[in-house]
Structure 1
Amino acid sequence: MPQNVPDFPTLLRSARRTAVHLEMRDSYGVAGEAEEFDQWKRTGEVDLDPESEGWSRWVSLVRETVVRGVVMRRARIVSEPVSEYIRYEHATTAVNVAVGEQVRWLPRRKALGIAVPAADFWLFDDRLVRFNLFTGDGDWADPRFEMTEDPAVVQLCSSAFEAVWERGIPHEEFKV
């Protein structure tokens, strides 16, 4: 990770009001979840226990954040029919919701007319954007992240997220 980009826990712990995440890929190929994704493809089963070791770091970070009053929202723009990866991601999202994240899904065809940046991002307190950069195969690019506080970029990301959120379908209602 570039030295000028703080790690994600540090960024999330610095949030005071909001942390929003927009995801726009139909598949990710990051090594950290490959084993669980392969298991899901073989068995159809995923770890939905927020107290399990596999979820421990994420769950504790989210709980710590929402207890402080920070609203965490995640929106995903997805193609339909959804990819195998999105079906897997949908299956695991119950844990995100259970620990305090709000999640919505937006079919790509319903996102037409929304100006979105070219990469997934996290936006903290409508002031700081951290872009997540991936290769064409969905693995982390090098560098993995870029950050900006440029007001025009922050405004683009904020507007994009809010437009997607407004049109999005709550996780509990979105069927894959």
Structure 2
Amino acid sequence: MQQNVPDFTALLRSAKRSAVHLEMRDSYMEDPVFAAWREGREVDLPQEYRQWQALVKETVARGVSLRRARIVSEPATDYIRWEHALTTPHNIACGENVRWLPRRVASDLCLPGNDLWLIDEERILFHWFTGDGEWAGHEFNEEPDTVKMVTTAFEAVWDRAIPHEQYTV
């Protein structure tokens, strides 16, 4: 179901009020910056990181609330420790609001089966990954019942989640 999937940058630029991102995996595809961090090497942020930062700043400057919630296992994987230590401070500096929810306190929440972006509580872009965390595709959805379910799930996660500055890994 990858047909009719809008370009992500265009989708985020279309946001008028809100853009929320729900992440539920403990690791994702291999990233050269992550590999360098894991090996103790210092690396400049690649161009795609700087492009993301510019897009976030542009989106927030238009008055769009940008929130990211991560459901994580504890103890955290190296990937999550890297996100917490390195990438999340960059996200926050650009205007994102980020919270963390330990998986152990999410058991009674009804959650969608995949990571996603929800734009203006109207449009969803689901992301699919392989078991190894590699990109597998995505699906666009505007079905009202699915949008309502995703909105409710995200808000339940957000209400329980711990703000980045208070969460330690």
Q: Normalization by structure 2: what TM-score? A: 0.94
Aligned to 2:160: 167
Matched, 1:96 2:91: yes
User: Residue type matched to 1:29 in 2?
Assistant: M
Matches for 1:1-176 after TM superposition, within 5 Å: 2-30=2-30, 34-43=31-40, 45=42, 53=47, 55-91=49-85, 92-141=87-136, 144-176=137-169
Query: Can you list the C-alpha shifts for 1:129-164, whole angstroms capped at 9, x where unaligned?
Result: 1001101110011xx110111111101110110000
Q: Which runs of 5+ in 2 are unaligned?
A: none
Q: Which runs of 5+ in 1 are unaligned?
A: none
Q: Normalization by structure 1: what TM-score? A: 0.90
The offset of 1:54, in angstroms, is 5.2
User: Residue type matched to 1:37 in 2?
Assistant: F
- Fraction of identical pairs, as percent: 57
The separation in 2 between residues aligned to 1:59 and 1:157, in whole angstroms, is 25
The offset of 1:104, in angstroms, is 0.1
User: Residue type matched to 1:127 in 2?
Assistant: E
